[in-house]
Amino acid sequence: MSEPRAGLHTTSLTVRYGGVVANADISLSVEPGQVVGLIGPNGAGKTTFVDAVTGFTACTGSVELDGQSLDGLPPHRRRALGLTRTWQSGELFGNLTVAENILVAARPGGAGALWRDVFGRRDAAGKAVVGRALDAVGLTGVAGTLARDLTLGQQKLVGVARALAGTCRLLLLDEPAAGLDSNESLEFAERVRSIAAQGPGVLLIDHDMSLVLGVCDVVCVLEFGKPIFTGPPAVARTDPAVVAAYLGAPMETVDA
């Protein structure tokens, strides 16, 4: 018998919203430790793909994580298996601390545990979860800060920390760099690489092409829900179909 395939694998994933085919026959893999970019024009189907993989929207085809089929599982079961995501809109609770924001998403143990967390009686296990998640995104000393008092860049990182807390085998980042300046974006790229180096595969959606083409091992380009290119960023930069559909002009490679 063959070994189960590690990582995320979709086969012929298709999503229809009425007459709109938002994802058409997408077969994509994200291996452990790999950063894969999913790019394309507005409305190309990127968020739909993340919604389908994470179980928030119905699809046909199949989704597999570390050899296990996720088909038919609700979002919380997929999350428990280590499939985690961020959302396009800033989803932090501004009037909770960073630690509380992380714990409300990651904390097993039901309402009693959550109640203790929110009212400050966090146990050692909860503190360790928060500490590990913040370390992974390089944020220190902010656990007790209210989320609304963080910079936008820090808020984005806390969103990622929240997705990493608990079990994370595959991280899906939906436009995590929107609103970041170029320095914050560079710093964010380093964080993405270091997260992948610790094990989980990362699927990155963003319109910041310097970030995506600089950080990803592979990019998949969608147009009208269909993959038109899957391959190395260096090739995507000048691929005629990618240039015509999305980039507008070939992109120069910039040495770090």
Ligand X SMILES: Nc1ncnc2c1ncn2[C@@H]1O[C@H](COP(=O)(O)OP(=O)(O)OP(=O)(O)O)[C@@H](O)[C@H]1O
**Residues contributing to the site for ligand X (CB under 6 A):** 17, 20, 22, 40, 42-48
Q: Could you tell me the smallest distance in angstroms from the CB atom of residue 185 to ligand X? A: 17
Please state the closest distance from residue 128 (CB atom) to ligand X, in A: 35
The nearer residue to ligand X, 16 or 132, going by C-beta atoms, is: 16
Closest distance between ligand X and the C-beta of residue 3, in Å? 33
| Strand arrangement, sheet containing 170-174 | 83-85, 170-174, 201-205, 35-39, 218-223, 226-231
**What are the residue ranges of helices labelled H in the chain?**
46-54, 75-80, 98-106, 110-118, 124-136, 152-164, 182-197, 209-215, 233-236, 240-242
Whichever of 56 and 116 has its CB closer to ligand X, that residue is: 56
CA 253 from centre of chain: 25
DSSP 32: T
Nearer to ligand X, 44 or 70 (CB): 44
Decide: 70 and 55 in contact? Cβ < 8 Å: yes
| Cβ proximity to ligand X, 27 vs 57, nearer residue | 57
Query: C-beta of 43: minimal distance to ligand X in Å?
Result: 4
- Choose between 20 and 152: whose C-beta lies nearer to ligand X: 20
CB neighbours (10 Å) of residue 120?
A: 10
Residue type, 178: A
User: Nearest approach, Cβ of 94 to ligand X (angstroms)?
Assistant: 23
